[in-house]
Amino acid sequence: MDLMFYLAGIFKPLLPFAFANNVRLVLLDARDNGQSTLYTEAELKAIYSRDKAIETEFLRSGVIEFATFLAWFIEHEDVPAIKEDIESGEKTGGINLVSWSSGSNWFIPFFAMADTIPEDIRKALDAYLGGYILFDAPFCTVGLPNPPLDKVYSCMRDPALTQEERFAMFPATVSGYYSKHAPIVRAALIATSLDTLPPVSEFWDGIQKRHDTEPDAKSPTIFRIPKDTLSRIASHEPFIRSTVQIIMGFHSEIYAECIEKVVNDVQLATCFPKARIYVMRRTTAVPDPPVDKVYSVLRDPSLPEEQRVAGFPAWIGGYYSVDAPIVRVAFSATSLATFPPASEFWDSIKKHCDAAPQAMSPGTRPVPKDIFDKITSQEVFVWSTLPMEVGFYRDIFGDALDRIVNDEKLATCFLKAKIHVRQASGQKGREIDVTIFDGASHMAHWDEPERSIEFFASIV
């Protein structure tokens, strides 16, 4: 499999849900991608110059191109200026930018180099640019050096792999699910001060090193996208031609200097004064508890697959009326001080549903077989859905997937630390929020488009 670089079409699943969320969604390909203008020979020469000054100027010219397009779009597409309701604080109108993954390598410089945008264009944007969502930016886009490979694995940096093997593994790396990070990883993402931000070493140790492989785990998104669809929304050509060099080949100090300006340059924050930055970090679902504490028929290692599938309807549709009082205490807790320890909570959960005839049978009204046959399909689950979500990707990549871990969380925690340093010093600057998108993958906009656009709309 070639290393695929996603085009604007990867966001098309969001379009049907835009109107309901009062959002007008415009999908834009960067230069040299999709149907955008290809780079000229002179621009490609600049990209591969290995000269920091030339690379910086190349990014600056790209920033001006984006700004010029935004000004043109505002003028020609009847974009209303930002308005804020005094009582509710609700904002309407304006433009909010979203950059996903390595696309952040353009819009971090956009704000860092805002003072070099021609004044007439910058002024034209001031009343319209309301926010920027930095969605799952990798560490290279904020100028961080590569972390130790034994702490944060990346197939793209593995010296034991050939380039072909790296490219073959990357799609699963970037679209896999990692639900078992230690609590300290989330603690870093929600830390409210430097005092509560965990040490880097502890953060690294808490990162999940192996992707989810349990029978009920969700497979990497890439393997659930039909091949003909993938060919329309992704291409390896722009990645090889220019993008990989811009992201990984440019001097990392350029991106480090840009993020430093975005966070700490007070004067620069006067450019686009209405624009707030939202650092959006997704986290996959809370990990499954031990099966001996919280029983699940689908995770019972003593049962063959046929019995797990057969036992699931009664297990999920059953009643559990004799959980200990401490379970209700946990659900009604109003603070950490009144929240019971996890061990006590687990010990008090009933492991199996109420047994008839003393208790109600699974399902308030048992579904007659003729109706049940019309509304369910075991064949579809066993023949198609289950193999696609559980087994398909393992057959292709085998044990290689066990060494994969994403690195976007490093950039988020790095930014979180910089923001807290600024706050601790009393320094002002552009408003920057770090927000968590729970239960989502790196490709949430494809896997969960409705929830994704609702989340985007809710934070801006």
Assigned domain for 33 exists: yes
What pLDDT does residue 189 have?
A: 73
- The domain containing residue 255 runs over which residues? 5-287+401-459
pLDDT-derived band at 362 (thresholds 50, 70, 90) equals low
Asked whether residue 451 carries a pLDDT value surpassing 60, the answer given is yes
Q: Is residue 297 part of a domain?
A: no
In a domain, 308, yes or no: no
Q: Closest Cα to residue 202, out of 447, 440, 413, 18?
A: 413
Beta-sheet strands, E only, within 47-121: 83-84, 91-92, 95-100
Question: Is the residue at 86 inside a domain?
Answer: yes
Among the ranges given (48-52, 244-248, 256-260, 288-292), the one the predictor scored with the smallest mean pLDDT: 288-292
Residue 49 lies in a domain: yes
Q: What is the pLDDT of residues 221-261, one digit of tens each?
A: 887 888 889 888 888 888 889 988 998 899 999 999 999 99
> Cβ(394)–Cβ(210) under 8 Å?
no
- CA angle, corner 127, sides to 103 and 116, nearest 5? 55
Would you say how long the chain is, in residues?
460
Task: Count structural domains, the chain.
Answer: 1
pLDDT band at 379; cut points 50, 70, 90: very low
Q: Which two tokens stand for residue 59?
A: 């990014």
> SS3 for 341?
coil
Ranges 223-237, 298-312, 442-456: which has the least confidence: 298-312
Q: What CATH number does the domain containing 441 carry?
A: 3.40.50
Confidence of residue 4 (pLDDT cuts 50, 70, 90): low
Answer for the pair 260, 37: CB distance below 8 angstroms, yes or no: no
Distance from the first to the final alpha carbon of the chain = 37
Query: Does 344 have pLDDT greater than 80?
Result: no
Helix (H, G, I), strand (E, B) or coil at 99: strand
Average pLDDT over residues 314-335: 63
Strand 129-135 to 276-283 pairing: parallel
Beta 95-100 vs 91-92: how paired, if at all?
unpaired
Q: How far apart are CA 345 and CA 283, in angstroms?
A: 24
Q: Which amino acid is at 360?
A: M
The pTM of the full predicted model, rounded to 2 decimals, is 0.69
203 is a domain residue: yes
Query: DSSP letters of 205-243?
Result: HHS--S---STTPPPPGGGGS-HHHHHHHEESHHIIIII
Contact yes or no for 425/61 (Cβ under 8 A): no
For 87, residues 6+ apart whose C-beta sits below 8 A from its C-beta are none
- Structure confidence at residue 302 (pLDDT): 81
In a domain, 336, yes or no: no
pLDDT, tens digit, for every residue of 397-417? Answer: 233 223 223 345 567 777 888
- Banded model confidence at residue 277, pLDDT cuts 50, 70, 90: very high
- Quick check: 30 and 84 in contact, CB under 8 A? no
Question: Can you read off the two tokens belonging to residue 165?
Answer: 């093997």
Residue-by-residue DSSP string for 176-189: -------HHHHHHH
Residue 29 token pair: 């390909």
Question: Which range in 26-40, 194-208, 232-246, 313-327 is most confidently predicted, on average pLDDT?
Answer: 26-40
Class of residue 260 by CB neighbours under 10 A (exposed 0-12, middle 13-18, buried 19+): middle
Q: Which residue has the tokens 């552009």?
A: 430
What mean pLDDT is predicted for residues 140-161? 80
* Residue 436 token pair: 């968590």
Using an 8 Å Cβ cutoff, are 166 and 155 in contact? yes
Quote the DSSP letter at residue 42.
Answer: H
> Does any domain span residue 321?
no
Measured CA to CA in angstroms, residue 342 lies from 80, 214, 293, 330 at distances of 50, 23, 10, 9
Average pLDDT of span 430-456 = 89
| Closest of 208, 5, 216, 20 to residue 105, by C-alpha | 5
Count CB neighbours of 40 within 10 A. Answer: 11
Cis peptide before 357 (omega within 30 of 0): yes
**Residues 58-94 pLDDT 10s:** 999 999 999 999 999 999 999 999 998 888 878 899 9
Mean pLDDT across the stretch 308-323?
65
